[in-house]
Structure 1
Amino acid sequence: MAVRLKKLQGSDIPEEHRHLGDEEIFQVVTGDDQQHFFASETEAAAKVAQLIERERDGDS
């Protein structure tokens, strides 16, 4: 499964996620189009790592 990490800034931030920050937030999108939003890049990167590990464990 592909996982994508993207930084959203300003008007690219969806209104429903502005509570996380109005200048920049981080979006993680999975191959099956699940979306996760985080206030920090560290949290977003941890989610990416978790998703990759889960995928590896599922393939074993």
Structure 2
Amino acid sequence: MKAGRADLGGVNTGWVPGRSADDGWISFRQEGLNIHQERGMERGTPFASDADLKG
């Protein structure tokens, strides 16, 4: 199944993969999150056009 948009109240997961095998993945840990790129353990970089930070 493929969705163009999802409106969720929350997601409970240990990791989220990219759309293709070479996109990398985000893993969630108690200390924070890790962003991985490609198939190795090399760190990736987050990108954002806007950020709303509180605290």
Higher relative contact order by CA 8 Å / sep ≥ 6: 1 or 2?
Answer: 1
Structure (1/2) with the larger helix percentage: 1
Structure (1/2) with the larger strand percentage: 1
Above 0.5 in TM-score?
no
Structure 1 length normalisation: TM-score?
A: 0.28
